[in-house]
Amino acid sequence: MVDLKQTFEFYDYFGFLAVGAIFALFLLIISFFLINFLFVNKKDEPTIFEKFGSKHNLRLGPHRLESIRRMEEKRAIVEQEEKEAAEERLRKQQGLSTEPQKPIIPKVEVESASTA
C-alpha cells in the first residue's frame, strides 16, 4: 500500500517567504531599470532612486548628479522662504509683527452716512 500522507520539513514552511522575496526583487528591478531609465525624461523631477544616489555620489537615473543637487538646493531655499513667510503671517495675525503697524481707518462713503 502507498502512503499518500505528506510530511513537511521545517524549511518547507518558509516557501512563501522565498516567493515574496523573489516577487519584491522582481518589482524593484522592473521599477528601477524599466521605469527609471526608459520613462523618466530629463525634464521630469528627480526620482527617489536619483535622490538616494546623489547622496551616495551614484547616478541612478537620467539626471546628472549636479542637476539633482541644484534642484534639491533650490527646493530647500524655497521651502525656507515659505516657512519664513508663514511665520511672518502668523506673527502679524497674533499682533507680534516686527514692523510698526498702521492704524486701521475704516472707509465710509459720505452719501451713505446719516445726516440726522
| Contacts (Cβ under 8 Å, ≥6 apart) of 69 | 54
> Residue 10 domain-assigned?
no
> Residue 62 domain-assigned?
yes
**Is the per-residue pLDDT at 101 higher than 70?**
no
> Residue 102 domain-assigned?
no
SS (H, E, C) the chain: CCCCCCCCCHHHHHHHHHHHHHHHHHHHHHHHHHHHHHCCCCCCCCCHHHHHHHHCCCCCCCCCHHHHHHHHHHHHHHHHHHHHHHHHHHHHHHCCCCCCCCCCCCCCCCCCCCCC
> Residue 42 domain-assigned?
yes
pLDDT (tens digit, 9 = 90+) per residue, 38-83?
Answer: 888 888 888 888 889 889 998 888 889 999 999 989 999 999 999 9
> Residue 104 domain-assigned?
no
